[in-house]
Amino acid sequence: MSDHKTHFGFSTVDEDEKAGKVAEVFHSVAKNYDIMNDVMSGGLHRVWKHFTISTARLKKGDKVLDIAGGTGDLSRGWAKRVGKEGEVWLTDINSSMLTVGRDRLLNEGLILPVSLADAEKLPFPDNYFNLVSVAFGLRNMTHKDAALKEMYRVLKPGGTLLVLEFSKVYKPLSGAYDLYSFKLLPVMGKLIAKDADSYQYLAESIRMHPDQETLKQMMLEAGFDSVDYHNMSAGIVALHKGVKF
């Protein structure tokens, strides 16, 4: 047991318990993850990811690391952008999510290097990647500061980090958003993924995640420059960008 506490949704847990609890969530939802994403976002997650992929400045032959890549949506987009001469790593800490992602990309004819990797201890050399991405993953990490520093370490000077994550919704919409998140989402989770608790955790973890300005500050503290963000869907999600100079 550790002396340090952290959040798992609205619960307070020992720091060394959180990763195990997050692992249970993603082992449980992996098989239904993609269909749930479409249903609960009404397909919007595809627009958020498309925007993320289209804003990146990439060229053929670049090297990209997709952290917490799960079922591979961003990796697929990166692979198309960097071409056969490029290198795109699909990584995640969770073997169930990574297996679904790897199989899905293989079925689409994409063979990418895949690695079971904890964002807080990345198994990659310093100054290696042109771009690092993390979509809807940072929220689940125990030591977000350590993960951001690792992302900084593996980027080449001039390289970019993109963090796509749920964020703070515009105030006038917060009542309706709460109703949706805490009443409807767990029911959808129960009906489709046979798991209400994991989708209750999703709603809670979004509320506990740093807002736009706080995450910007955390990225600056990890060493990034030119940090900025772009809100989408009234702040339901934000895309943060930072550069390693």
Ligand X SMILES: C[S@@+](CC[C@H](N)C(=O)[O-])C[C@H]1O[C@@H](n2cnc3c(N)ncnc32)[C@H](O)[C@@H]1O
Where along the sequence are the contacts to ligand X (CB under 6 A)?
A: 22, 26, 67-71, 73, 92-94, 97, 118-120, 135-137, 140-141
Residue placing its CB nearer to ligand X in the complex, 27 or 84: 27
Give the chain's count of helices (H) and strands (E). Answer: 10, 9
Residue nearest to ligand X (CB): 70
DSSP string, 94-105: -HHHHHHHHHHH
For the CB of residue 111, give the shortest distance to ligand X in the complex, in Å: 19
Q: Please say which residue, 68 or 155, places its beta carbon nearer to ligand X.
A: 68
Is 34 annotated as ligand-binding? no
The answer to whether the annotation marks 146 as part of a ligand binding site is no
Rounded to a whole number of angstroms, the minimum distance from the CB of residue 179 to ligand X is 22
Q: Is 211 annotated as ligand-binding?
A: no
Residue 68 annotated as binding? no
10 Å Cβ neighbour count for 29? Answer: 26
Nearer to ligand X among residue 91 and residue 130 (C-beta): 91
Rounded to an integer, what distance in angstroms lies between the CA atom of residue 42 and that of residue 179? 16
Q: Token pair of 208, please? A: 């506990």
Instruction: Output the smallest distance, CB 26 to ligand X, in A.
Output: 4
Least distance (Å) between residue 99 CB and ligand X: 11
Cβ 187 to ligand X shortest distance, Å: 19
- Asked if residue 159 lies in contact with residue 189, where contact means CB atoms within 8 angstroms, the answer is no
Count of C-beta atoms within a 10 Å radius of residue 17: 16
Q: Closest CB to ligand X among 47 and 225? A: 47
3-class DSSP assignment, residue 84: coil
Rounded Cα gap, residues 216 and 239, in angstroms = 10
Nearest Cα to 88, choosing from 126, 48, 58? 58
Which residue positions form the known binding site for S-adenosyl-L-methionine?
A: 71, 92, 118-119
Which residue positions form the known binding site?
A: 71, 92, 118-119
